[in-house]
Amino acid sequence: MVRPLFRTRIKFCGLTRAGDVRLAGELGVDAVGLIFAARSPRRVAPQAARGLRDALAPLVDVVALFMDNSVDEVREAIAHARPTLLQFHGGEDDAFCRKFGLPYLKGIGLRGAGASLSGRVLHGRYPHAAGFVLDGHGAGEAGGSGQRVDIAAIPPDMSKPYVLAGGLQPDNVFAAVRAASPWGVDVSSGIELEPGIKDGALMRRFVEEVRRADCVELGEDNDLKECYACGR
């Protein structure tokens, strides 16, 4: 499907080093995710998050990510990281997620969900969500697992923006964007050397592949023609 002028948003998640944060912005990434979930090997302390936020280039969002954290933990993280968006990845309900006066994304594990998980159900359960992160892991599990998301498991009636996540890498994100046409894509382990340690070459290739997926135009017989935007 050709979507003239549309740009698939990109979120790099689980950054822990100022240099990785700075590079993400310079590569044109739309958001960086800082993780405060106790279960994450990429967790950062609120005070450290302040320094990471200060390293960020302008016009890039900070997403503060939580998984069943307490109200006080969320408030402390917000005070230091000054995020523009929250992401809740655990059993938090809509009332909890909207308590902090910032827009939020709700993380949803698709593995094993089946047909019971529809857009209608999600929008009814999280009516104030700005959107969803549809992830490759199962319900109740942590993200950042590298488990490949099944495009076929994406509910067909999603009416709010969703970010596709789960096992995305430079080598597979082109096909994922072409197949799902998501609002955005999210990656953690697929651009890492080890948890929290991002690799600059993988980061660059990931962005290049998303841009290539946005750029090509399908020919009459569904083959990939040259870029309709830049003509390459």
Q: Which of residues 154-173 bind ligand LARABZUK (CB under 6 A)?
A: 165-168
Q: Which is nearer to ligand LARABZUK, 199 or 217 (CB)?
A: 199
Q: Half-sphere exposure of residue 156, counting CA atoms within 13 Å on the CB side?
A: 2
23 vs 34: CA distance, rounded Å: 15
Q: Which is nearer to ligand LARABZUK, 38 or 121 (CB)?
A: 38
In the shown chain, the binding pattern of residues 49 to 88 toward ligand LARABZUK, with x for contact by CB under 6 A and - for none, equals ----------------x-x---------------------
User: Could you give the C-alpha distances from 190 to 12, 147, 160, 165, 193, in angstroms and in order?
Assistant: 10, 10, 26, 10, 9
With CB under 6 A as the contact rule, the residue among 9, 42, 198, 211 that binds ligand LARABZUK is 42
SS3 164: strand
- Tell me the closest approach of the beta carbon of residue 40 to ligand LARABZUK, in angstroms: 4
The reply on whether position 143 binds ligand LARABZUK by CB under 6 A is yes
The reply on whether position 31 binds ligand LARABZUK by CB under 6 A is no
Q: Which of residues 193-232 bind ligand LARABZUK (CB under 6 A)?
A: none
* Spatial contact of 183 and 171, defined as CB atoms under 8 Å apart: no
* Spatial contact of 32 and 62, defined as CB atoms under 8 Å apart: yes
Sign of CA dihedral 179, 9, 205, 17: negative
With CB under 6 A as the contact rule, the residue among 21, 78, 122, 133 that binds ligand LARABZUK is 133
The reply on whether position 146 binds ligand LARABZUK by CB under 6 A is yes
- Tell me the closest approach of the beta carbon of residue 172 to ligand LARABZUK, in angstroms: 11
In degrees rounded to 5, what are phi and psi of residue 213? -65, -35
With CB under 6 A as the contact rule, the residue among 17, 94, 145, 200 that binds ligand LARABZUK is 145
* Count of H-run helices and E-run strands, the chain: 7, 12
Burial class (CB in 10 A: 0-12, 13-18, 19+), 104: buried
- Tell me the closest approach of the beta carbon of residue 165 to ligand LARABZUK, in angstroms: 4
Cα R_g (the chain), whole angstroms: 17
Binding site for ligand LARABZUK (CB under 6 A): 13-14, 33, 35, 37, 39-40, 42, 65, 67, 89, 107, 133, 135-136, 142-146, 165-168, 186-190
